[in-house]
A and B are shown apart, each in its own frame.
Chain A
Amino acid sequence: AQKVTQAQTEISVVEKEDVTLDCVYETRDTTYYLFWYKQPPSGELVFLIRRNSFDEQNEISGRYSWNFQKSTSSFNFTITASQVVDSAVYFCALSFPDTGRRALTFGSGTRLQVQP
């Protein structure tokens, strides 16, 4: 069975600090997709990134970067120079669309509070 673990329940940082959100996943499948979603205080779920299991290249998008390491089954998310608007709950998720299992399995989320 698949599982996504986000061990950090809550992180509090001061604006402009860098912060890394951890995500560890478990699966026996060799083909899978990993995702990060952001849930701001308003409650919606906002897609941030998708990564497939064959692509271990790290990705950077502005202040956001993602580090995918199959060897440790981790897909960590770093926010550089955090801002108050980054305050949200961040969810990591896993799916297996290539084998017809498109349902997302979410981690329990990490609440990030960025203090001014």
Chain B
Amino acid sequence: EPEVTQTPSHQVTQMGQEVILRCVPISNHLYFYWYRQILGQKVEFLVSFYNNEISEKSEIFDDQFSVERPDGSNFTLKIRSTKLEDSAMYFCASESGGAGTDTQYFGPGTRLTVL
């Protein structure tokens, strides 16, 4: 069964460093998402991406964040200058976008630890 994959599973970085989180969405899906979950809290939407551009973003997704689909398979989230409060689990999700199939399937997550 097709699934969303994410790398790395765990990333440790120093405050102020740039990190890139990688995701491979399900093949033929058209919508891509990033969410984050601070430990013990609810899942929060960051950004959605469709047709090579951002379609929605939340207040959390400020200028420190960017997303890119550099090729036909990868979808990346870059955090330019990490802060302690960026420590969280980051989930990628994809959705086919076809009629009646509005379901987002999530990857296993990348745990980001900022020291």
CA A10 to CA B106, docked complex, whole Å = 23
Is there an interface contact between A44 and B44, defined as CB atoms closer than 8 Å? no
CA A105 to CA B58, docked complex, whole Å = 11
> A47-B103, A47-B105 in contact; A102/B31 too (CB < 8 A)?
yes
Question: B83 → chain A, closest Cβ, in Å?
Answer: 22
> A44-B109, A100-B55 in contact; A95/B102 too (CB < 8 A)?
yes
CA A44 to CA B33, docked complex, whole Å = 15
List 18 contacting pairs A-B, 8 Å CB cutoff, sorted by A: A43-B108, A43-B109, A44-B106, A44-B107, A44-B108, A45-B91, A47-B105, A50-B103, A100-B56, A101-B56, A102-B56, A103-B45, A103-B58, A104-B33, A104-B35, A104-B45, A105-B45, A106-B44
CA A109 to CA B40, docked complex, whole Å = 10
Interface residues in A79-115 (C-beta closer than 8 Å to B): 91, 93, 95, 97, 100-109
B73-93 Cβ-contact flags toward A at 8 Å (1 or 0): 000000000000000010101
Chain A at the B interface: SS class: strand
Interface residues in A7-40 (C-beta closer than 8 Å to B): 33, 35, 37
Question: B93 → chain A, closest Cβ, in Å?
Answer: 8
B31-70 Cβ-contact flags toward A at 8 Å (1 or 0): 1010100000111110010000001101000000000000
CA A47 to CA B109, docked complex, whole Å = 14
B11 proximal to A (CB < 8 A): no
Chain A residues in 8 Å Cβ range of B111: 43
Is there an interface contact between B33 and A35, defined as CB atoms closer than 8 Å? no
A28-66 Cβ-contact flags toward B at 8 Å (1 or 0): 000001010100001111110010000000000000000
CA A44 to CA B104, docked complex, whole Å = 13
CA A102 to CA B33, docked complex, whole Å = 9
Chain B residues in 8 Å Cβ range of A97: 102
> A44-B109, A103-B56 in contact; A108/B103 too (CB < 8 A)?
no
